[in-house]
Amino acid sequence: MFYTIIGTQWGDEGKGKIVDWLSTKASFVARFQGGNNAGHTIKINKKTFKLNLLPSGIIRGKKCIIGNGVVLDPWALVNEIRLLKNKGLKINKKNLFIAENVCLILPIHKIIDEINELYLGKANIGTTKKGIGPAYEDEVGRRSIRFCDLNNTDLLKEKINKLINYHNPRLKKYNKTISSKKILKELLLISNFLKQFSSPVWKVLNKAANTNKVILFEGAQGALLDIDFGTYPYVTSSNTASGQIFSGTGFGVKKNHRIFGITKAYTTRVGSGPFPTELNNEIGDYLIKNGHEFGTVTRRKRRCGWFDLNLVKQSVIISGITDIVLTKLDVLDDLDYIKVCIAYKLKNNKYNYLPVNELDQKNVKPIYKTLKGWKKSTYGIKHWKNLPLNARKYVNFLERILETKISIISTGPERNQTIDKKNILRNI
Q: Is residue 167 annotated as part of the catalytic site, yes or no?
A: no
- Cβ–Cβ under 8 Å, residues 245 and 217: yes
Residue pair 347/364 in contact by the 8 Å Cβ criterion = no
Gap between the terminal Cα atoms of the chain: 8
Cα–Cα distance between 165 and 319 in angstroms, integer? 40
Nearest residue to 2 (alpha-carbon basis) of 205, 180, 203: 205
* C-beta of residue 52 within 8 angstroms of C-beta of residue 295: no
* Residue 317 φ/ψ region, left for φ over 0, alpha for ψ in the -120 to 50 degree band, beta for the rest: alpha
Is 257 annotated as catalytic? no
- Return d(Cα 86, Cα 63) in angstroms, integer: 19
> Distances from the Cα of 28 to the Cαs of 25, 39, 65, 208, in angstroms?
9, 20, 7, 8
Query: What secondary structure, in 3-state letters, does 169-228 show?
Result: HHHHCCCCCCCHHHHHHHHHHHHHHHHCCEECHHHHHHHHHHCCCCEEEECCCCHHHCCC
- The H or E element containing residue 78 is helix 74-86
How many residues are there in the chain?
A: 428
Q: Are 29 and 216 in contact (CB under 8 A)?
A: yes
Annotated active-site residue in 20, 40, 109, 149: 40
* Contacts by 115-119, CB closer than 8 A, 24 or more apart: 115/171, 115/174, 115/176
What's at 181, amino acid-wise? Answer: K
What is each CA distance from 271 to 122, 274, 330, 385, in whole angstroms?
12, 10, 25, 38
What is the rounded distance in angstroms from the CA atom of residue 416 to the CA atom of residue 380?
8
Hey, which residues are catalytic here?
12, 40
